[in-house]
Amino acid sequence: MKAVLPGSLPGSGSDAGKPVVFGDAAEPEPGDGELVVAVEAYSVNRGETFQLDGRLDRRRPGWRPGKDVAGKVVRAAADGSGPPAGIRVVAHPPAYGWAERVAVPTGNVAELPDSVDAVTAAALPLAGITALRLLRVAGPIAGRRVLLTGASGGVGHYVTELAASSGAMVTVVSATAGRGARLLELGAAKLTTSVADAQGPFDIVLESVGGASLPAALARLAPGGLLVWFGQASRTPVTLDFFDFFKGPSRARIEHFDYTVSDTSYGEDLATLVRLVARGRLHPEIDSVRDWSRTDEVITDLRGRRVRGNAVLTVG
């Protein structure tokens, strides 16, 4: 079958500078509790671009990217779990999804109603699951003041709409006002292009940029506030002066977040996201839809921060 394969790492090999190449891959062989999905669409996440350029480990020999897919089940799980062949699904495999077919654990799929198309569904998994679980960590948010940094990506759009619809007063930080404009339409109370301009204090800070952004956001916490650190999009290490922290808001807390830690079965969260979309309560922000032959272009645009929300590729 055809698949998108990792290119050479920057500065090496004949494909140097190409993030991905097209090639042939073996047909997926599903294990226990796995089904096979014929992929109709997939989305690209920034974390996958970091893996492709070597800034995150490629975890195993033969690794191929692909964690967010939508399509149709073409081979049901042998143990009878999960949907049967012919059912449309959204899925979150651990990898290998940028291909014509992919094996997925049955606990990581959710059925799609006719009202949710494959392109919309493909934008849901990683970003949507992250947003749901991030807000659970934040706790009750109705009436609370929330600061969200790095808000113009896929996770940020979902967090903004979900938090605002739950009664939170959300201030979003986006690199430019243009990239952040849609966030105001989704319910954000205020938009700023710099953490330094955010008018706190905030009960909850959701921080995804790293570098100088985290200590600046931490300084804007209210007493007893919570900062949840869920990303480092700037790829710049954080330097935190704990003497400044101790002089800051009393009883403030910092918590690190990883969406995979609490539960590695994603089907229920996927079903929740699908239900919200079908009912018109969640609106995936899809900035770009292209044929999968243009995956390398999308990766380049993501690296250059030229994608607002999600980018989706269609297969076949």
Per-residue confidence (pLDDT) for residue 46, from 0 to 100: 85
Q: What is the mean pLDDT of residues 261-270?
A: 85
Please give the C-alpha separations between residue 45 and each of 73, 108, 165, in angstroms, as whole numbers.
23, 17, 25
Six-digit token string for 126: 């990683």
CB-based burial, 51-77: b 16+ in 10 Å, e otherwise = bbeeeeeeeeeebbbbbbbbbbbebbb
The three-state secondary structure class of 135 is: helix
pLDDT digits (tens, 9 = 90+) for 188-199: 999 999 999 999
Token pair 């790293």 is found at 210
Task: Give the chain's mean pLDDT.
Answer: 91
Task: Supply the pLDDT for residue 49.
Answer: 85
**Among 48-62, 96-110, 220-234, 240-254, which is the least confidently predicted range?**
48-62
Q: What is the pLDDT of residue 60?
A: 66
At 276, list the tokens: 């919200």
- Domains of the chain in start order, with CATH, are 2-124+284-314 (3.90.180.10), 129-256 (3.40.50.720)
Tens of pLDDT, residues 14-62: 445 678 999 999 999 999 999 999 999 999 998 888 888 765 555 567 8
Task: Give the model's pLDDT for residue 61.
Answer: 75
Q: What is the mean pLDDT of residues 174-203?
A: 94
Tokens of 213: 């952004």
- Distance (Å, whole) CA 54 – CA 13: 14
Separation CA 19–CA 33 (nearest Å): 32
